[in-house]
């Protein structure tokens, strides 16, 4: 998308030249030639200028260690920012050169050695491989190595040093003001630090969080930019992509929701109107009846031109789009024509024809692709998109909207990649998906460490888009690097049973862990073990082009972090924890995976202390593993370190908000800490606790709390601080949200809700438990103590007149009139239709009805309680204690008949005119049943006297 230079409203923060660099738009005429070449994506011209060679430095010490860095020029006068702008352009060109080589293509015939002066380059016999190896070693971050076959990594390292993400070994002494590094005055540097950071973590084996100042500075700049700034939507999408990457280990995480919100904001900022809706149409060739089909309607306010009639790809160079060529499925959905054509006055999205929508800009198409993932109904791993039919249908609708109007090479590539992922699960589309994936891999000639595949021919040179067109929307798309594309292709082959081809790709990519997994899938794990051992012993040579000279003797010289990864893989294959210890040793204490694996081993052997130490070491290096936080929390609970467990589960739900078990365990931590520590710490934020946010800064947490003895209920209420219980209550509320079918979660929630006085929620929880357990467990599904406490809360309320802030009568939903309808529905609509043989349920109902002055209903409930209790209990005829209890119950029922029978009901009539007859019949029946066994008992004689009184 060609973006116009920014309006003057944004010039106070970001100059027109800076905006042009961000959007790759034509810069102002006053800009330097270096900046103009950068905006045209000519890194070969920018990076070989005299200015660039004065900045880029190269050295080798006495030990042969290569040092690559940037020597920042002195700071210019405050009125002259040309040096700083030129240095920014230099960093942008280096970053885009790396992206062109490893992401977008086309081939970049620029040798990184050409960036340095002749004396530095020729002084010690440099070659590109040595330079690349040194750069890759320096790109390792937080214990995660960079992919060792990435090409021309010198470009990325230099860009990171210019932007200040990596310190330069050639920086001037501290206290000397320079341009670049951490001394930038340009606001747009925050954009480039974010973009460079995203590219950096994409080349690592596992995503790790960037320094918090980078996203924080970007958010701060975004908030300060005016709404009409062209940079703002670019920032929003970059932040959305970062959140998506960090949610990779857990698609349920809160980062995914943040990504969704940012993508929606980007759509607003760029003026994109969109709607995911349904229209009638046909999907197959032989379909007779039209069905509702998902469709994305979109209109870009910045693109007012009507869609021109032209052939696909005319005017725009885009990748080859493979046709489906199926005998049943249509190439695209055939939507029904509208019965009443829309008029020019009708400007709503619903008026658009799905088959002939207006054109949208390339950047707006990037926003649509981000929205396709960010707005999924269920969090889904991108590599397994096909596993969820609903998610696949939604993404397909967005992709179809983009492919119907191709405008940009990278945007179309990303759309095709998403389509390939969605088509992997259908037999009619899986072939097209694999072939299209192969074509996408082949188009990135220079981005892949392998040659072009023979399965799909390379893109012809005349059909290839220029580098600027490919890079224009690159930072707005979550495109994987070339080797990840090939890994995904091999994974597709493996899922189709084409194991040999998958194995060949993994071997070419030197992804030895995947090679070992392939051998395991082929039921030959010993081959995988042999591969790893050969690598570690030096018996197997890696790529001659890339790994030349990095092995010698029996010492693995592929990098300490890569060697540690191989030891971990060997440990998994041989199930030997000694290999994990070796991995930790060779990594010099930087392998998070080694400690995670050791922690898992100690957990299985019940060595909680060692497991805790190992897991904390792992999470200190890379904290983006929610399952590791969960196991750590469990270990802390085992050793009764409730504060440590609370921290662990708090971090766990922060990464994976929909983890109900972690919420439950976090609630347990709150309760246990309350029992042991007494009141809440002074540092605890009372308001946050009320909102369900604990001191870790995470909303809620829960643990399965065992129900306490009834006799100790009041004592527990006195011991537990109310604020701790309130936090536990909010945690459990989150738990039931994400584990709605777990009656144990509901039981814990019910108990804590009663403790904190949230009786309306306790009522809801009891009803849910009965619904889930009644069929299997019968009366035991009802917590009768909780039910009776709910009735007590209704009947004991004094009903004082209270008013809210507006002066209106306030009804507390947890007592009296506010709670009564809920308890009434619980008994009559939930419990009794499922469980009708519990006397205590009917007695509780009788008390509730008596409180509401429904005397007829109360008397009927008492009689039902008698019928399902005494009247059907055969043990009263031979068990003396049961007989005595039953006799007492008979007297109570007779008393209720005597008291309530003569009263007037709600209809104004007497409740039971024949109450004496009913009472006599009830007593006589009971006496007849028990006469043979208990005629001589005083209770029997007392009942006989009662019969005489009722005559």
Q: Give 550-554's long-range contacts (Cβ < 8 A, gap of 24+).
A: 550/133
How far is the C-alpha of 112 from the C-alpha of 58, rounded, in Å? 11
Q: Which two tokens stand for residue 912?
A: 């039971």
Exposure class string for 539-577: b at 16+ Cβ within 10 A, else e: eeebbeebbeebbeeeebbbbbbbbbbbbbbbbbbeeeb
Cα separation of 846 and 794, whole Å?
13
Is 82 exposed, middle or buried (CB count within 10 Å of its CB: 0-12, 13-18, 19+)?
middle
3-state secondary structure of 60: strand
CA angle, 333 as apex, 327 and 338 as ends, to 5°?
A: 135
Q: Write out the H or E segment, with its range, that includes residue 214.
A: helix 213-224
Question: pLDDT below 70 — which residues of the chain?
Answer: 1-12, 61-64, 75-81, 122-125, 172-182, 247-254, 302-315, 338-347, 376-389, 445-463, 538-559, 678-722, 798-810
Cβ atoms 226, 269 nearer than 8 A: no
Q: Indicate the SS3 state at residue 923.
A: helix
> Edge-to-edge, what's the strand order for the sheet holding 329-335?
291-300, 272-284, 329-335
Q: Is the dihedral of CA 105, 106, 111, 117 positive or negative?
A: negative
CA 342 to chain centre: 41
Enumerate the H helices of 778-914 as residue ranges: 784-795, 816-825, 839-851, 855-868, 880-900
Q: Residue 707 carries which DSSP code?
A: P
Q: Please give the model's pTM, rounded to 2 decimal places.
A: 0.75
DSSP H helices, 100-212, are: 118-122, 128-138, 154-163, 189-202
- Among candidates 476, 41, 8, 427, which has minimal Cα distance to 233? 476
Radius of gyration of the chain (CA): 36
CB-side neighbour CA atoms (13 Å) of 828: 12
CB 449 within 8 A of CB 509: yes
pLDDT per residue as tens digits for the range 392-445:
888 899 999 999 999 999 999 999 999 998 888 788 888 898 888 888 888 775
SS3 of 311-351: CCCCCCCCCCCCCCCCCCEEEEEEECCCCCCCCCCCCCHHH
Cis peptide before 106 (omega within 30 of 0): yes
Go through 829-856 and write b for each residue having 16 or more CB atoms within 10 A of its CB, e for each that does not.
ebbbeebeebbbbbbbbbbbbbbbebbb
Of 209, 214, 269, whose CA–CA distance to 236 is shortest? Answer: 269
Q: How far, in Å, CA of 102 to CA of 181, rounded?
A: 24
- Measured at the alpha carbon of residue 399, what is the angle toward residues 398 and 403, in degrees to the nearest 5? 125
What pLDDT score was predicted for residue 495?
84
Using an 8 Å Cβ cutoff, are 455 and 390 in contact?
Answer: no
- For 611, residues 6+ apart whose C-beta sits below 8 A from its C-beta are 599, 600, 602, 603, 631, 632, 635
What pLDDT score was predicted for residue 287?
84
* Distance of alpha carbon 725 from the chain centroid: 28
Distance of CA 284 to the CA centre of its chain: 35
Using the structure block, give the residue that is written with the tokens 């009947």: 795
Are 105 and 522 in contact by the 8 Å Cβ rule? The answer is: no
C-alpha dist (Å) from residue 776 to 740, 771, 835: 18, 10, 11
Helices (H), 296-388: 362-374
- H helix or E strand, kind and range, residue 375: none
DSSP state of 830: I
| C-beta separation of 228 from 645 below 8 A | no
35-48 in b/e burial notation, b at 16+ Cβ within 10 A?
Answer: bbbbbbbbbebbbe
Cβ–Cβ < 8 Å for 101, 149: no
CB 492 within 8 A of CB 437: yes
Mention every residue, 6+ apart, whose C-beta is less than 8 A from residue 488.
Answer: 383, 437, 480
Backbone angles phi, psi at 147, to 5 degrees: -60, 125
- 2 and 12 Cβ atoms separated by less than 8 Å: no
Nearest to 73 by CA among 178, 205, 157, 200: 178
């Amino acid at each position: 998308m060609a973006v116009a230079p920014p309006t003057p409203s944004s010039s106070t923060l970001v100059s027109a030249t800076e905006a042009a660099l961000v959007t790759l738009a034509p810069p102002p005429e006053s800009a330097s030639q270096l900046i103009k070449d950068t905006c045209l994506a000519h890194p070969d011209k920018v990076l070989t200028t005299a200015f660039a060679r004065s900045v880029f430095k190269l050295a080798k010490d006495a030990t042969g260690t290569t040092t690559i860095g940037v020597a920042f020029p002195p700071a210019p006068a405050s009125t002259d920012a040309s040096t700083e702008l030129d240095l920014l352009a230099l960093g942008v060109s280096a970053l885009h050169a790396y992206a062109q080589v490893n992401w977008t293509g086309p081939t970049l015939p620029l040798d990184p050695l050409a960036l340095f002066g002749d004396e530095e380059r020729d002084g010690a016999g440099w070659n590109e491989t040595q330079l690349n190896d040194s750069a890759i070693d320096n790109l390792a971050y937080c214990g995660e190595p960079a992919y060792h076959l990435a090409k021309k990594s010198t470009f990325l390292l230099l860009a990171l040093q210019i932007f200040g993400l990596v310190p330069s070994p050639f920086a001037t002494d501290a206290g000397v003001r320079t341009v670049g590094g951490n001394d930038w005055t340009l606001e747009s540097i925050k954009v480039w630090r974010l973009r460079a950071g995203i590219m950096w973590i994409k080349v690592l084996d596992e995503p790790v969080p960037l320094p918090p100042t980078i996203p924080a500075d970007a958010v701060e700049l975004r908030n300060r930019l005016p709404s009409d700034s062209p940079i703002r939507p670019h920032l929003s999408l970059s932040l959305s992509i970062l959140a998506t990457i960090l949610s990779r280990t857990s698609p349920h995480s809160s980062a995914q929701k943040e990504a969704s919100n940012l993508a929606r904001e980007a759509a607003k900022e760029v003026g994109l109107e969109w709607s995911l809706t349904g229209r009638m149409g046909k999907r197959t060739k032989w379909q007779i009846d039209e069905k509702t089909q998902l469709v994305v309607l979109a209109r870009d306010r910045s693109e007012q031109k009507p869609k021109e009639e032209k052939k696909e790809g005319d005017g725009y160079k885009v990748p080859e789009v493979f046709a489906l060529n199926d005998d049943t499925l249509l190439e695209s959905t055939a939507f029904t024509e509208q019965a009443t054509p829309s008029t020019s006055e009708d400007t709503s999205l619903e008026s658009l024809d799905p088959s002939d929508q207006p054109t949208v800009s390339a950047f707006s198409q990037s926003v649509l692709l981000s929205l396709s993932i960010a707005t999924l109904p269920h969090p889904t791993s991108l590599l397994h998109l096909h596993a969820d039919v609903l998610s696949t249908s939604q993404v397909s609708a967005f992709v179809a909207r983009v492919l119907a109007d191709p405008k940009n090479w990278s945007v179309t590539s990303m759309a095709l990649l998403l389509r390939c992922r969605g088509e992997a699960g259908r037999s009619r589309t899986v072939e097209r998906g694999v072939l299209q994936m192969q074509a996408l891999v082949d188009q990135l000639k220079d981005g892949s460490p392998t040659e072009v595949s023979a399965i799909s021919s390379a893109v012809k040179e005349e059909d290839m888009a220029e580098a600027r067109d490919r890079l224009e929307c690159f930072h707005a798309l979550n495109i994987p690097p070339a080797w990840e594309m090939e890994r995904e292709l091999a994974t597709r082959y493996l899922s189709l049973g084409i194991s040999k081809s998958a194995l060949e790709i993994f071997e070419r990519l030197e992804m030895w862990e995947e090679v070992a997994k392939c051998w395991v899938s082929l039921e030959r794990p010993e081959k995988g073990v042999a591969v790893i051992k050969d690598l570690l012993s030096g018996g197997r040579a890696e790529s001659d082009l890339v790994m030349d000279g990095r092995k010698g003797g029996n010492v693995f010289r592929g990098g300490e972090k890569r060697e540690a990864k191989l030891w971990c893989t060997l440990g998994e294959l041989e199930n030997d924890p000694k290999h994990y210890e070796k991995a930790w040793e060779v990594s010099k204490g930087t392998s998070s995976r080694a400690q995670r694996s050791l922690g898992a081993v100690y957990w299985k052997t019940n060595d909680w202390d060692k497991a805790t130490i190992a897991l904390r070491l792992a999470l200190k290096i890379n904290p983006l593993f929610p399952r590791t936080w969960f196991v750590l929390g469990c270990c802390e609970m085992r050793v009764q370190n409730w504060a440590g467990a609370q921290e662990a589960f708090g971090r766990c739900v922060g990464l994976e908000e929909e983890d109900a078990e972690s919420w439950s365990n976090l609630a347990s931590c709150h309760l246990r800490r309350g029992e042991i520590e007494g009141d809440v710490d002074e540092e605890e934020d009372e308001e946050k606790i009320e909102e369900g946010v604990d001191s870790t800064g995470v909303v809620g947490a829960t643990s399965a709390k065992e129900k306490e003895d009834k006799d100790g209920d009041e004592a527990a209420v006195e011991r537990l601080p109310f604020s701790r219980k309130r936090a536990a209550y909010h945690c459990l509320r989150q738990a039931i949200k994400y584990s709605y079918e777990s009656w144990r979660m509901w039981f814990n929630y019910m108990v804590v809700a009663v403790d904190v006085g949230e009786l309306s929620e306790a009522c809801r929880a009891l009803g849910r438990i009965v619904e889930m357990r009644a069929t299997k467990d019968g009366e035991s599904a009802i917590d009768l103590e909780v039910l009776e406490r709910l009735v007590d809360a209704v009947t004991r309320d004094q009903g004082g007149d209270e008013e809210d802030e507006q002066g209106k009568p306030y009804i507390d939903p947890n007592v009296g009139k506010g709670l009564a309808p809920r308890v009434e529905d619980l008994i009559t609509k939930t419990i009794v239709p499922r469980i009708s043989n519990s006397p205590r349920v009917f007695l509780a109902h009788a008390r509730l009805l008596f409180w509401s002055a429904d005397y007829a209903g109360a008397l009927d409930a008492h009689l039902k309680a008698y019928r399902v209790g005494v009247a059907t209990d055969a043990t009263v005829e031979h068990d003396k204690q049961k007989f005595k209890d039953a006799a007492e119950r008979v007297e109570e029922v007779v008393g209720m008949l005597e008291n309530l029978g003569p009263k007037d009901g709600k209809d104004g009539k007497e409740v039971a005119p024949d109450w004496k007859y009913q009472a006599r019949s009830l007593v006589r029946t009971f006496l007849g049943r028990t006469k043979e066994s208990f005629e001589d008992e005083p209770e029997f004689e007392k009942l006989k006297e009662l019969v005489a009184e009722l005559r």
